[in-house]
Structure 1
Amino acid sequence: MTSFPHDTAGEPDPLRALDLERLRRRTSMKWRTYPEDVLPLWVAEMDVPLAPPIVRALTDVLALGDTGYPVGTAYAEALAGFAARRWGWDGIAVERTAVVPDVMLGVVEMIGLVTQPGDPVIVNPPVYPPFFTFVAHMGRRVVEVPLGADLRLDPAALEEAFARATADGGRAAYLLCSPHNPTGTVHTAAELAAVAELAERHGVRVVADEIHAPLVAPGVTFVPYLSVPGADRGLSLMSASKGWNLPGLKAALALAGPGAAADLARMPEEVGHGASHLGVIAHTAALREATGWLDALLLGLQANRRLLAELLAEHLPQIRVHPAEATYLAWLDCRALGLGDDPAQVFLDRGRVALTAGPPFGTGGAGHVRLNLATSPDILTEGVRRMAVAVK
């Protein structure tokens, strides 16, 4: 697969559109969890205006009073077209897709289809904290296989875990984060093919959370898990939620490889009722009509990655930042600062800047924080300044 061309003609950087005063009028989690003197650079919400094609689509349906239940395959068709244009992948078959309320609830449903209570679910920490909480809540056993020292997948460790998990002939699943949250790592085609081969050899079912797929940096290639050889029995969850800042408009898609079609068909119909009709419309519009807006965003995020590296080098050189290839998240190693396992609490208490604490990401999270850089350069600069104040 080849990396996509960027087309930002006439599209301004959405990260520079909103000032702090306007952002503080928002009522979502990012802006209302902490007091007003705290600068929030934590949860996965972007400080951007909604892409105009999405606004138009929602305005039109609201004017019609079209606020009923979702139906049809428009969302799946839009994702198939986006995947073909963006990733050179024509492997999304609409008949092997299903609408689900959001990616994590879709993950729960997919794991429920291929495992039983008590079965192991393998994850790669440091990884998105809900991987632990959702899996535990559904009565499965979390098995950690940490990323390697280079923060990439460790094939040898995965093979050992897969073999151990299925040694007694039992079921097991592997919950793959692709691109990886919090490190921003984009798994290569070779890495994913190795995963598929190991999973097939040991009878482990792969469920891939690919919610950050639209957010790869310019020049970087995203490879859908279901596109690699041997992934026929895989399941994937995708959404426009992260790429276009739509978490409040609930809708995602579950995708099945050819060998997993029967599994997806067993998902109860009522699961799809949890998706929002407005969410389906918004996500469809994003994938079909708002790719220019997305490209402008990706260039802005790349500029912010460079800015963050410069700011840390100047003000907090002890912090090591992992060079991310995707997402709008930065994984910061703060251990050299001597702030203990949870530096985020120190930055909050002393600097009044909110970051996401590292320990809930599992093994490898202690002494780290996750910073959301999907904001304006001015706010990002102020955030690092506050972090520096906190350690003086």
Structure 2
Amino acid sequence: MEPKPPDVSADANPLRALSLDTLRQRTSMKWRTYPADVLPLWVAEMDVPLAAPVARTIADAVALGDTGYPAGTAYARALADFARERWGWHGLAVERTAIVPDVMLGIVEVLKLVTRPGDPVVVNCPVYPPFYQFLTHMDRRVVEAPLGAGLRIDFDVLEAAFRDAAAGGGRGAYLLCSPHNPTGTVHSAEELAAVAALAAEYGVRVVADEIHAPVVALDATFVPYLSVPGAERGFSLMSASKAWNLAGLKAALAVAGPEAGGDLARMPEEVSHGPSHVGVLAHSAALRDGGDWLDAVRAGLDENRRLLARLLAERLPAVRYRPASGTFLAWLDCRPLGLGDNPAAFFLERGRVALSPGPDFGTGGAGHVRLNLATSPEVLTEAVGRMAEALD
């Protein structure tokens, strides 16, 4: 079955739906970390209203008092249906899934199943900062395999890291970010198959963070890691949280490949008590009924990528930016500006724009910032204007 092409209404862009005054009434991390004069384009929350099917599902649950513990497989079945329809992937078996509190905590629980304290975990830096934080906290050794040309996987570097991981006699793992955060790189089927082949050669277990999987450009194709040949011993962590802005409604799924189901079955039963039942309902509704809304967001993000490229060319031409095919994040190389390792500090102090600091993303992050594109064109325009004026 071929993936379903999107059907997008050109006049329905959720990124244009909310005013800045309305957004400032929110009490989440994005809107409460900095003073009110700061434009927050940092943490991965989207400036959108909830998709109507999700809002209805939450309201119905509250009206019914359906706020107990999570149960059943509706979330996994909704994800399996979404994967078949969107990605042409028929291999997501509901019986090889486990509900987990969120993707990052799910990663931790899966790594506990296949590695031991002190074992190496390979990451492609620059990469999502909690990878470092959680791996260090659970006493795993982080092995960096920096991205190469075009911000894509460098397979010579990756093989060297796998060799390192296998050398000490430990049980090595590879924490793959797909699509990649912060660069927005969408890995190809050929790249993912090469990952699987290398992992098999060196006995490394692959754990794929695929939280941004639904959020790709309209002309891009996401490939699930577990759908490629050789990935049978791997795992995926998926959620509707990024694509439908549901981070505050905790729920995610761990998915095991055909040869990893036995490992997943060893996950403690109490882990399934961590997700929110209302979160499970909301995520299931998003996957099942939120496709049109998602495609409208994807179209709006495509517009914002083009807008950001134009704004930077006009106002900050020294900043290097390559519009990416995945996530709603932009990775900006600000090194030509001469602002040191952490340009985000300068733009916050002088421009009152909050961006994610590049050094937090590990090797390769110095001199960079990550900008959240999931906002209105007006806010994006204002933010770039402030950044440019800060340099005057």
Same fold (TM over 0.5): yes
2: CA distance, partners of 1:307 / 1:162: 39
Q: Does residue 147 of structure 2 align to residue 147 of structure 1?
A: yes
Q: Please list, as runs of the form range in 1=range in 2, the aligned pairs for 1:9-28 lying within 5 A after superposition.
A: 9=9, 12-28=12-28
Q: Please list, as runs of the form range in 1=range in 2, the aligned pairs for 1:103-114 lying within 5 A after superposition.
A: 103-114=103-114
Deviation at 1:159, TM superposition (A): 1.1
Q: Does residue 333 of structure 2 align to residue 306 of structure 1?
A: no
2: CA distance, partners of 1:337 / 1:113: 45
Question: What amino acid is the match of 1:121?
Answer: V
Q: Please list, as runs of the form range in 1=range in 2, the aligned pairs for 1:28-47 lying within 5 A after superposition.
A: 28-47=28-47
Q: Which residue pairs with 2:244 in the alignment?
A: 244
Question: What amino acid is the match of 1:223?
Answer: V
2: CA distance, partners of 1:4 / 1:339: 45
CA contact (8 A) 1:159 1:198 kept: yes
Deviation at 1:177, TM superposition (A): 0.1
Q: Which residue pairs with 2:96 in the alignment?
A: 96
Deviation at 1:93, TM superposition (A): 0.4
Q: Does residue 138 of structure 2 align to residue 132 of structure 1?
A: no
2: CA distance, partners of 1:159 / 1:319: 32
Deviation at 1:2, TM superposition (A): 5.5
- Where do 4+ consecutive residues of structure 1 move more than 6 Å? none
Deviation track 1:331-365 (CA, whole Å, cap 9, x = no partner) reads 00000000000000000000001000000100110
Q: Which residue pairs with 1:383 in the alignment?
A: 383
CA contact (8 A) 2:3 2:84 kept: no
2: CA distance, partners of 1:224 / 1:293: 22
1: CA distance, partners of 2:386 / 2:212: 28
Q: Does residue 162 of structure 2 align to residue 162 of structure 1?
A: yes
Deviation at 1:149, TM superposition (A): 2.6
* Equivalenced residues, count: 392
Q: What CA RMSD, in Å, does the superposition of the two structures yield over aligned residues?
A: 1.0
Q: Which residue pairs with 2:219 in the alignment?
A: 219
Gaps of 5+ in 1: none
CA contact (8 A) 1:351 1:387 kept: yes
2: CA distance, partners of 1:211 / 1:200: 24
Q: Which moved more, 1:347-356 or 1:1-10?
A: 1-10
Q: Which residue pairs with 1:50 in the alignment?
A: 50
CA contact (8 A) 2:3 2:85 kept: no
2: CA distance, partners of 1:196 / 1:249: 32
Q: Which residue pairs with 1:269 in the alignment?
A: 269
Gaps of 5+ in 2: none
CA contact (8 A) 1:173 1:206 kept: yes
Deviation track 1:41-72 (CA, whole Å, cap 9, x = no partner) reads 11000000000000111111111001000000
Q: Which residue pairs with 1:81 in the alignment?
A: 81
Q: Which residue pairs with 2:281 in the alignment?
A: 281
Q: Which residue pairs with 1:70 in the alignment?
A: 70
Q: Does residue 335 of structure 2 align to residue 335 of structure 1?
A: yes
SS in 1 for 2:248: coil
Question: What amino acid is the match of 1:76?
Answer: A
2: CA distance, partners of 1:346 / 1:170: 42
* Aligned CA distance change for structure 1 residues 257 and 11 (closer, same or farther; 3 Å): farther
Deviation at 1:8, TM superposition (A): 2.5
CA contact (8 A) 1:11 1:292 kept: no
Deviation track 1:256-279 (CA, whole Å, cap 9, x = no partner) reads 001100110000000010000000
Q: Which residue pairs with 1:188 in the alignment?
A: 188
Deviation at 1:10, TM superposition (A): 8.4
* Aligned CA distance change for structure 1 residues 346 and 83 (closer, same or farther; 3 Å): same
SS in 2 for 1:370: strand
2: CA distance, partners of 1:111 / 1:151: 26
2: CA distance, partners of 1:50 / 1:167: 48
Deviation at 1:169, TM superposition (A): 2.9
Q: Which residue pairs with 1:234 in the alignment?
A: 234
2: CA distance, partners of 1:11 / 1:203: 50
Q: Does residue 191 of structure 2 align to residue 200 of structure 1?
A: no
Q: Which residue pairs with 2:60 in the alignment?
A: 60
Q: Which residue pairs with 2:323 in the alignment?
A: 323
2: CA distance, partners of 1:47 / 1:280: 22
CA contact (8 A) 1:117 1:139 kept: yes
2: CA distance, partners of 1:190 / 1:335: 32
* Aligned CA distance change for structure 1 residues 55 and 269 (closer, same or farther; 3 Å): same
Deviation at 1:160, TM superposition (A): 1.4
2: CA distance, partners of 1:17 / 1:306: 19
